[in-house]
Structure 1
Amino acid sequence: MHAVLALLAAFPGLAHAAATFDVDHAAQLYLATLSAPAKARSDAYFEGGEWLALWGTLISVALCWFLLRVRLLPKVRTAMHRRGWRPWLGVLACALVFIAADTLLSLPWTFYTSYWRERQYGLMNQSVGAWLGDQAIGLVLSAVLGSVLLLVIYAVIRRYPKHWWLIGTGVVGVTITALVLITPVFIVPLFNTQSELPDGPVRARVVAMAKANNVPSEHIYLVDASRQSDRISANVSGIGPTIRISLNDNLLKQSSVAETAAVMGHELGHYVLGHVWRTIVVLTLLMGLLLWLASRIAPALIRFGGQRWDVRGLADPASLPVLAGVLSVLSLLATPMTNTLIRVDESEADAFGLDVAREPDGFASAAMKLSAYRKIAPGALEEMLFFDHPSGKTRVYMAMQWKKDHVPNAAEVVPPPLPEPKP
């Protein structure tokens, strides 16, 4: 305490700033940049999304029930058996048919949630044709990667009927790791073009921050995300040889150098703090819990369905709709847990980004720009249950507190109003 008093005595300007800078008032100046109509629209969009998660799960369960009632997969299984095909080919066929049927049957719902609703709120730039093209690519990816994963999972179920969920957890962990590895290099380019970020103030800031924190920065990629929407985004993705720094063209076009530096400092924080590996481990363990629960619930449902479903046990690939439906419900129930785990990482990255970029006003301004699709000031319970990132209000207050604590003679900034959302 004596040391602190001595420091304040030696630097009276610092003491004055700490005493006069009002964190609450400075934060309110940023929050006031969002007009009442824009805030109402943002709140409606986000709150509607909370209900979409519930309705989406109910629709998923209903589709699984429908596929069981029409015995689609038992017919595929029986046909493969009559032709004398190997059991693993039967699993592969059931997996492919299920993925295709589920995708096509849920297409109207997907169209509403991912295209029509996004367009209503001015968040979609694609035509229907371009959107369908991306959906087709996604279907092919799901069919290839999903069928291989299910092939392995069902092989484990057959070989270890009592403890399949434990080995399955390891399979899921390997799968998540593999996806993190290949996504930046092989999957993202299927949807968007990536090019080198041009030389300039933004690249110079990003390279300087990356080098100071030992983040690989030989390549910094610019992604043409504006072909889909106007959302700003950036990341440090991949692991090992595929690690890369990326930002989308919306961030570059819509943000100042200070705002972009604040965002990129946050993203660098994920890499430096090891969040990728921690997320892989945590999500794998959580999936292990869900698989354990599914290993208890799914067999009981199969016994309940009996001859009506023609499913002969969990090892039967025709049980896939049962397993998928159970995991859909369990995943929904686990949402508050997953949101909290991700939100902790995001908050840590926020603190890291403020320390690295030293742009508290840029950080606050960037946080406000996310109000186009994130409710800016939720209640504490709502933020805990439904937010996988800190809310805009939380972030603005964090930035202003950092400014008071770290910027000598900190002064309030009166930011300009945010532009009104697109009709």
Structure 2
Amino acid sequence: MLELLVAATGAFDVETATRAYLDTLQGPARAKSDAYFEGGYWLLLWGTLVGVLVDWLLLRFRIASAIRGFAERVSKRAWIVTAITAFAYTLIGSIVTLPWTIYTGYVREKRYDLLDQDFGAWAGEQAIGLAMALVLVPLVVAAIYAVIRRAPRSWWLWGTGVIGLFMLVGMVLGPVFIAPLFNEYTELEAGPLRDRIEAVAAKHDIPAEHIYVFDQSKQNKRISANVSGLGPTIRISLNDNLLERTGEDEILAVMGHEMGHYKLNHIWWIVGIMLGLFALGLFVTSRVAPVLIRRFGERWGVREVGDPASLPVLAICLGLWMLAMTPAQNSLIRWAESEADAFGLDAAREPDGFAKVAMRLSEYRKIEPGALEEMLFFDHPSGATRVRMAMQWKADNLADPQMVVPDEGYLESE
């Protein structure tokens, strides 16, 4: 069990207390954490470029137009033609990018000891995800192209509404029908821990009739929890790694954070943020895609924006837009996460538990980035930011705050 050393050093100093935590991650462990996270910066770029290359190949060799031509021979109904085209586009794209998916999702994760599944189990989950995409993507694309045909100038606005509708349906149904495909969810057993979580929730009028534990240990060792669902399906879930690898103070700190997301209505904030970015991206796409099609459409076999064969063109435009908007998206989500951190500290009153969790997340998040680096690439506050927030809360809210020096090696505890 994790033990902490309390240092009797007189007056509590926030920076000294923060440094005591940060200095527990040194040498090869810090270098490995930094290398993994910094490599992710390049994955953002290369992942987008891989997608753009695949879409360009589908256009350059008229594969998209050939698929649409086949679909038109199957049916004269526009929505069926679009759905068939989107189905084939999704399947071909997944097959062509499979080497990239294997590298980023399996090989690289194994290299950094962040994945416990063997290849068969990992591939099985990828297959489930692909099967869902082959159902959902054609539905979304068919709906958006129906809007394009009916409102060729303002389709970007109506298309945003379509995406929003599908997001809301997914949020309601996800915890019930999608999440259980990948993990088993069971009620957190009764006992002192559940009693303490429920007491924190009751104090802030947060419903806690259902607290779920899911078996993520079969996939990896990462600790996590989340708020998911909407309306009758909303729930707070924590994974078994959090229960097995951390102490009660850390669990309460994490659950306080997740309760913050619920209490501060962050689900709606994040939906609004994402829809705003999609709206702007679709607007830009609605202006750029017609220009590209007028110039290259004959060469690609694409007639107009409303032609389902234009799907790779729209995907290129939207993909590049979302890459450019990554810093804005990260900053907006990071703001919500920071608010939840502050709420969680007030609710759970476990600043050292919060600091320890922040340090544990250094397994896959760079602990101490520069200010610009954090703004551009972090969708959560960095570990250093979170530890400092916890120590500042401790100084401001506890009558006699004590300096706590984590026992050497606690980050390796299971």
TM range (shorter): over 0.9
- 2:157 paired residue among 152, 161, 166: 166
Partner secondary structure for residue 353 of structure 1: helix
* 2:288 partner letter: I
- 2:14 paired residue among 23, 28, 41: 23
Counterpart mapping for 1:16-415 below 5 A: 20-415=11-406
Structure 2, unpaired ranges of 5+: 1-7
Distance 1:184 1:190 in 2: 10
Structure 1, unpaired ranges of 5+: 1-16
| Per-residue deviation, 1:417 | 2.8
Distance 2:247 2:70 in 1: 61
> Does the 8 Å contact 1:340/1:385 carry over to 2?
yes
2:3 corresponds in structure 1 to: none
Partner secondary structure for residue 236 of structure 2: strand
> Does the 8 Å contact 2:148/2:155 carry over to 1?
yes
1:8 corresponds in structure 2 to: none
Q: Deviations over 1:281-312 (max 9, x none)?
A: 12111210000001011111212223221000
Partner secondary structure for residue 413 of structure 1: strand
> Does the 8 Å contact 1:201/1:257 carry over to 2?
no
Task: Percent identity, please.
Answer: 55
Q: Deviations over 1:84-113 (max 9, x none)?
A: 532211101000000111111111101100
Distance 1:257 1:377 in 2: 26
Shifted more, 210-219 versus 130-139: the winner is 210-219
Distance 1:104 1:251 in 2: 35
Q: Deviations over 1:316-356 (max 9, x none)?
A: 00000111111111100000000001000000000000000
Shifted more, 68-77 versus 93-102: the winner is 68-77
Q: Deviations over 1:226-253 (max 9, x none)?
A: 1111110001211100011100001111
Distance 1:274 1:163 in 2: 30
* 1:229 partner letter: N
Alignment CA distance shift 1:70-1:377 (3 Å): same
| Per-residue deviation, 1:197 | 1.1
Distance 1:302 1:333 in 2: 22
Distance 1:111 1:133 in 2: 12
> Does the 8 Å contact 1:34/1:417 carry over to 2?
no
> Does the 8 Å contact 2:359/2:411 carry over to 1?
no
| Per-residue deviation, 1:181 | 1.4
Distance 1:418 1:305 in 2: 60
| Per-residue deviation, 1:81 | 2.3
Shifted more, 99-108 versus 374-383: the winner is 99-108
Partner secondary structure for residue 376 of structure 2: helix
| Per-residue deviation, 1:77 | 1.8
* 2:230 partner letter: I
Question: What is the alpha-carbon root mean square deviation over aligned residues?
Answer: 1.5
1:9 corresponds in structure 2 to: none
TM-score, normalised relative to structure 2? 0.95
Distance 2:304 2:59 in 1: 13
| Per-residue deviation, 1:421 | 6.6
> Does the 8 Å contact 1:96/1:143 carry over to 2?
yes
1:14 corresponds in structure 2 to: none
Q: Deviations over 1:38-74 (max 9, x none)?
A: 1111000000000110000000000000111222221
| Per-residue deviation, 1:167 | 0.7
* 2:183 partner letter: N
* 2:31 partner letter: A
| Per-residue deviation, 1:170 | 1.1
Partner secondary structure for residue 34 of structure 1: coil
Distance 2:66 2:295 in 1: 20
* 1:86 partner letter: R
| Per-residue deviation, 1:372 | 0.3
> Does the 8 Å contact 1:361/1:399 carry over to 2?
yes
Distance 2:74 2:109 in 1: 46
* 1:217 partner letter: A
* 1:115 partner letter: Y
TM-score, normalised relative to structure 1? 0.93
Partner secondary structure for residue 246 of structure 1: strand
> Does the 8 Å contact 2:71/2:85 carry over to 1?
no
Distance 1:83 1:167 in 2: 28
Distance 2:245 2:342 in 1: 23
* 1:352 partner letter: F
> Does the 8 Å contact 2:360/2:411 carry over to 1?
no
Partner secondary structure for residue 206 of structure 1: helix
2:4 corresponds in structure 1 to: none
Alignment CA distance shift 1:85-1:364 (3 Å): same
- Aligned pair count reads 405
Alignment CA distance shift 1:169-1:418 (3 Å): farther
Shifted more, 113-122 versus 71-80: the winner is 71-80
1:5 corresponds in structure 2 to: none
* 1:222 partner letter: V
